[in-house]
A and B are shown apart, each in its own frame.
Chain A
Amino acid sequence: MTTTPVTDAPATSTRQGTQIRLERVTKDYGLANPAVDDITLTIDPGEFMTLLGPSGSGKTTTLNLIAGFESLSAGTISLNGADVGKLPPHKRDLGMLFQNYALFPHMTVAQNVAYPLRERRMPRDVIARKVQEVLELVQLPDRDDNYPNQLSGGQQQRVALARAIVFDPKALLLDEPLGALDRNLRGALQAEIRRIHREVGSTFVFVTHDQEEAMNLSDRIALFNTGRIEQVGSPEELYRKPETLFTARFLGDSNVFELGGGVSGSSVGWEGSTWAVDPSTVSTHPGVLSDAALVVRPEDLGIVASAAKAPAGSNTVSAVVTDVEYMGSYRTAMLALGPSGVKGRARLDAFDSTLSIGDEVVAFWRPERQRLVAA
């Protein structure tokens, strides 16, 4: 995987990105639950916004609603303040990238890329120039006369990307565009998409179920769950400050202690342990007052032989080592936490080979590194 040495010069684009605003958007197919349930979301001009979620959470439906492939059941969608809810897709001026590339198989690379320009009745010489420019931007020159089936998957997706941005659309919608590619290529194309977002400077809306991809690419992530938005924020906010247990579990690994009650006061109890609560680590979600869970990331969990050896002021819980996995750059200790043996994990230094299976140890963490979320 490579990162691009992008020049420090200001972005080549002169146009401003487009603001996309969804207001109380609902899509109801008449099933038990609406596919998209009363969503309000503002995507800022030039922002890279990722709609993340498990399959069936409504993220793709939301993208299709923005694109105009699905009709709204309720709510409004506006681009830079102009309501587009009733416009057919071909009048919305939004570029789109599909998982299976959706290149026209009977057209060459150049003809594919020229397609949106010809539909806009641009003069021939302008089309030829723009096609060459954009093919250089996606680093696929000299392939003009190839047909899509003569290209690899990665190359095809570059052509699709060129075709989707060549007409300077108001925004680019990306529907799991890397899903069909193998791991190496995916990394290369992620870097490519990031670079092109910087250079073009327009609004990108990216749909994926891959949390790593989302963390990697996005300015902000909107996490979807059963047709609703669970949480919106930067990748770091979502990872470090999840509001709910769903968010904590969806992004990264977590050690979860379900408290079975709400948070009140300066400490919480779990299976006989009492832990200090740092008020800044308590979620603002109202659910945390009635039913909360304490979450600690594996990299924040330390392991010592006995409670006495834990640093002062840390929260501790007894643990049994059930397995140790060597990952190359680090080791993961699989743990059974507390009396009931809740499954957990801690990230260890790669050279720490002192633990073995069956060891009875104490896991500890600093109170400001934990997070109390709505269960």
Chain B
Amino acid sequence: MSTVTPDTVSTETAYVTAGRAGRRRRDRSVDPIPWWQWVIGIAVAVYFILPTVFVIPMSFGTASSFQFPPKELSLDLYVNFFTNPKWIGSLGNSLLVAVLASLLATTVGTAAALGLHQLTGRLSRFVRTILMVSMVTPAIVVAVAVYISFLQWRLVGSIGGYVLAHAAIGVPFVLVSVTSALGGFDPKLLRASASLGASPWRTFLRVTLPLISRGVLTGAVFAFVTSLDEVVIALFLRSPLFQTLPVQMYNAVTVEVDPTIAAASSLVVVTVTLLLLVPLLVRRPKKRR
């Protein structure tokens, strides 16, 4: 049996077709980009990228000195990086801190974004600003403040200290990316889920989190990368027993004159670049018939 008249069916199909065509169409500007804009664009890109790229050929030089271009190619610096306990140990420390700090920052930042999304008005704006302060405060000011308070709480040189401090500077990134993901989130879905028998926690797991996962993931990557290359606070918190990779790199230049830093830098550049590409590559799979 059918209650749908033929004309209703055709209306509905027409809708779908129109919708799909609409999504596919992309507007393009009529004129090609003029050549001088290409030149300026490329110049700016080179200016930004070149210094980082320099370090990669250098990392394939020999263990004797910094040279560009390297006279002969070798993997000595990489061998040294992965065998010298000072280097590989600090890399391990950095990764551990970055993982824990980004987990903490992601949890806190996501919770804050969700909470602030519900609030409106002055209170919400105020709390948001407070949470973002560490983004604009000079790193050295944050570092000194962290150092003084952590001295009292006996957190200097401990992994807990690093994690707490790095999580704090990672929270704003998560807050921003999750907040923008929530912009496209329909709050009616929460009511729908509740009416269907799901508790608020189940609703978060099955509806909210999947729909804002891009934002959460982006925030987590940024928090991770921020922790991984953070040097100012790490310099204050370092101890002979525990130091992170950026601190070891700083030492390599200022104290030890160790060319292994070229290998370390290359590794960091490549790792961070790959990580930042992750949110771009992750797409929700869409089945199409």
Contact = CB atoms under 8 A, between A and B. Distances in A.
B186 A192 contact: no
B252 interface: no
B253 to A, nearest CB: 48
B191 interface: yes
A164 B8 contact: no
Contact of B188 (A94, A102, A145, A188): A102
Contacts of A88: 194, 199
Interface stretch (B9-17, B34-42, B154-162): B9-17
Contact of B3 (A93, A106, A151, A195): A195
A167 B189 CA distance: 18
B198 interface: yes
Main secondary structure of the interface of B (DSSP, over half): helix
Most chain A CB atoms below 10 A, which of B4, B19, B206, B288: B4
Given A89-B191, A195-B3, A147 B287 contact: yes
A246 interface: no
Contact of B287 (A69, A108, A155): A108
Interface string A94-117: 111010101111101000000110
B210 interface: yes
B192 interface: yes
A124 interface: no
B1 A100 contact: no
B8 A188 contact: yes
Most chain A CB atoms below 10 A, which of B3, B199, B202: B3
Interface string A173-217: 100000000101100100110010000000000000000000000
A122 to B, nearest CB: 11
Given A96-B195, A147-B286, A106 B211 contact: yes
Nearest to B202: A119
B71 interface: no
Most chain A CB atoms below 10 A, which of B186, B188, B192, B202: B192
B197 A119 contact: yes
Contacts of B217: none
B197 to A, nearest CB: 4
Contacts of A5: 1
Contacts of A164: 195-196
Contact of B194 (A89, A173, A188): A89
B31 interface: no
Most chain A CB atoms below 10 A, which of B198, B210, B286: B198
A100 B3 CA distance: 23
B118 interface: no
Contacts of A160: 192
A89 B3 contact: no
Contacts of A152: 11-13, 15-16, 19
A67 interface: yes
Interface size on A, as a range, is 35 or more
B6 to A, nearest CB: 10
A90 to B, nearest CB: 5
B24 interface: no
Interface in A155-174: 155, 160, 163-164, 167, 173
A150 interface: yes
A168 B107 CA distance: 37
Interface string A61-91: 0000001110000000000000000001111
A139 B195 contact: no
B287 A95 contact: no
Given A102-B189, A119-B202, A184 B11 contact: yes
Contacts of A115: 193, 196, 198, 206
Nearest to B8: A188
B15 A153 contact: yes
B268 interface: no
Given A119-B202, A120-B197, A147-B287, A104 B3 contact: no
A186 B3 CA distance: 13
Interface string A315-350: 000000000000000000000000000000000000
A360 to B, nearest CB: 46
Nearest to B2: A139
A154 interface: yes
Nearest to B191: A69
A96 B191 contact: yes
Contact of A106 (B15, B199, B210): B210
Interface in B1-58: 1-5, 7-8, 11-13, 15-16, 19
B283 interface: no
Interface string B105-127: 00000000000000000000000
Given A90-B195, A108-B287, 9 more contacts: A4-B1, A88-B199, A90-B197, A102-B188, A103-B192, A115-B206, A116-B198, A150-B289, A182-B11
Q: Across chains A and B, which 8 residue pairs bring their CB atoms closest together, nearest first?
A: A96-B195, A102-B192, A152-B15, A116-B196, A89-B194, A152-B12, A102-B188, A119-B197
22 contacts: A2-B3, A2-B5, A67-B191, A67-B195, A89-B191, A90-B193, A91-B197, A93-B197, A102-B186, A104-B207, A105-B211, A106-B284, A108-B287, A115-B206, A119-B197, A119-B198, A139-B2, A146-B289, A152-B15, A154-B12, A163-B196, A195-B3
